[in-house]
Amino acid sequence: MALVVQKFGGTSVGDTSRIKEVAGHVQFTHRRGSFPVVVVSAMGKETDELYSLANNVTQRQPGREMDMLVTAGERKAIALICLALADLGVPARSFTGSQAGFITDGVHQDARIQEIRPQRIQETIAEGIVPVVAGAQGVSGSGDVTFLGRGGSDTTAVALAHAIGAELCELYTDVSGVFTADPRLVPHARKISEISFGEMLEMTATGCPKPAMRSVLVARTYLMPLHVRSAFTWEPGTLVKDANFHQQEPDPQAQEAQTMERPIISAVTHDSSQAKMTLLAVPDRPGVAATVFRRIADLNLDVDMIVQNVSDEGVTDISFTVAKADLSVGIENMETIMAEVGGKGVTANSDIARVSLIGAGMKSHPGVAAQMFETLAAHNINIEMITTSAIRISCVVDESDMEQAVLALHSAFGLDKAA
């Protein structure tokens, strides 16, 4: 029987009636002829509440104890799902990350999966019992409980799906799929029926919040097809796989869409979670970038969109984006480094947003970049930074311009829903 991993996010299991509904869906899957393996996040805002409890106790929060604390959330959820399944007559058995065989490194609050030893899960499946696995957790080599971090349940699900040879990993969430833009910003955004791993990766890397980027990386590496779909409407969502782009319906409006070597724009993403830091007038000599980004790596900061551009005068500005939450620690460390290497100083701007156009073929069509910049200019939106990849162009703009930029680009590149 084909194995299907079904992962349910926090809002999907937000209260007991939702848990019953999820259990009903798992039962339905089983009856329909696939064997479900369930991965579940903590209920609703439970993880937030656990952090809040810790904050009320102390600000000194050693990672080991924090991981012990927050992983309690998923433990509750797996037990409740198993109870609800048993109530429906579906035999089920709960597993913590450790029990499910998730071996991770020892980086508390942000552990990486090193290996999965899924024997117990496989034995449970062989017994005809549905395994229900706690998301986002594992055990380190030294036997400590570890937490994979926010969004880690998606990664748990995809990695487990690969480890047990599932044919599909379904990620149930509170949205009905992946859209051509955030439907909250762009009311006429369209749900994407199929998208490739590469485009999905660029989308999650530039602001599309679900699925978690790490899980897309794992899916892409191991070619595990994902189905991102709603646990509320249960309608078909977005299939992430080696998408065969030409099977998507061409836009009848767009003449260009009819041609074979056309650029294919998939989506517009945005991200206002990042701030921009600029290291000013850094001496243009070997080793400066290495010093900067080794420090960044040691701080485990999630840096993105590195831009360095040497001017004539033997100095260079290095800019990069960093999570707004990490900005103060970033500035502090970079000021130290500027003092060491002799740079002029550090500036930061947290009122920025990145708007990205994702799609294939833009690299061989310089007109795509020109059209993107023209569209922004036509709306009087200034561009602060530009970076490009083979399937993406990103512009950093003022945060107040973000919404208009997304709307304008979505429309300019023919992504709007047919009227």
Interactions with its own copies, residue window 250-269 (CB under 8 A)? 258-261, 264
The conformational region for residue 269 under phi > 0 = left, psi -120 to 50 = alpha, else beta, is: beta
* 361 sits near its own copies (criterion: CB under 8 A): yes
The owner of tokens 């206002």 is: 272
Maximum C-alpha span of the chain: 75
Among 69, 70, 145, 159, binds its own copies (CB under 8 A): 159
CB of 368 to its own copies, least distance (A): 8
Q: Is 32 exposed, middle or buried (0-12, 13-18, 19+ CB in 10 A)?
A: exposed
- Residue 93 or 270 with smaller CB distance to its own copies: 270
Smallest gap from residue 236 Cβ to its own copies (A):
21
Q: Are 228 and 194 in contact (CB under 8 A)?
A: no
Q: Which residues 390-419 are close enough to bind its own copies by CB under 8 A?
A: 390-393
Q: Is 140 in the site for its own copies (CB under 8 A)?
A: no
Question: How many other C-beta atoms lie within 10 A of the C-beta of residue 223?
Answer: 10
Q: Which position has the token pair 């304008």?
A: 408
Site for its own copies in 32-91 (CB under 8 A): none
Instruction: Tell me if 351 contacts its own copies by CB under 8 A.
Output: no
Interatomic CA distance for residues 357 and 340, integer angstroms:
38
End-to-end C-alpha distance for the chain, whole angstroms: 43
Q: What are phi and psi of 46, to 5 degrees?
A: -55, -45
Give yes or no for residue 347 binding its own copies (CB under 8 A): yes
- Residue 285 in contact with its own copies, rule: CB under 8 A: yes
Among 107, 373, 403, 411, binds its own copies (CB under 8 A): 373
Q: Is 309 in the site for its own copies (CB under 8 A)?
A: yes
Alpha carbons 240 and 191: distance in angstroms, whole number: 12
**Structure tokens belonging to residue 188:** 């006429």
Q: Of the candidates 87, 167, 242, 332, which one interacts with its own copies according to CB under 8 A?
A: 242
Q: 248 CB contacts (<8 Å, ≥6 apart)?
A: 193, 194
On the CB side of 242, CA atoms within 13 Å amount to: 4
Count of positions on this chain that bind its own copies (CB under 8 A): 91
Residue 170 or 202 having the CB closest to its own copies = 202
Question: CA triplet 234, 203, 154: central angle to 5 degrees?
Answer: 50
Instruction: Work out whether 150 is an interface residue with its own copies (CB under 8 A).
Output: no
Q: Which residue has the tokens 């594992």?
A: 138
Pairing relationship of beta strands 274-283 and 303-310 according to DSSP bridges: unpaired
Decide: is 116 part of the binding site for its own copies (CB under 8 A): yes
Q: At its nearest, how many Å lie between its own copies and the CB of residue 333?
A: 13
249 is an interface residue for its own copies by CB under 8 A: no
Look at the chain and count its residues: 419
Residue 36 C-beta: closest distance to its own copies, Å: 23
Residue 242: count of CB within 10 angstroms of its CB: 11
By beta-carbon proximity to its own copies, the closer residue of 130 and 268 is 268
Q: Could you say which of 48, 144, 251, 317 contacts its own copies (CB under 8 A)?
A: 317
Q: Can you tell me which of 79, 88, 168, 217 binds its own copies, judged by CB under 8 A?
A: 217
Q: Is 133 in the site for its own copies (CB under 8 A)?
A: no
DSSP letter at 343 equals -
**Contacting residue, 302, 335, 399, 403, with its own copies by CB under 8 A:** 302
Burial of 384-395, coded b for 16+ CB within 10 Å and e otherwise, reads ebebeeebbbbb
Question: Which of these segments, 58-66, 125-133, 304-312, 411-419, binds its own copies (CB under 8 A)?
Answer: 304-312
Q: Compute the least distance from the CB of residue 41 to its own copies, in Å.
A: 18
Nearer to its own copies, 38 or 218 (CB): 218
Closest CB to its own copies among residues 233, 400: 400
Q: Does 305 bind its own copies (CB under 8 A)?
A: yes
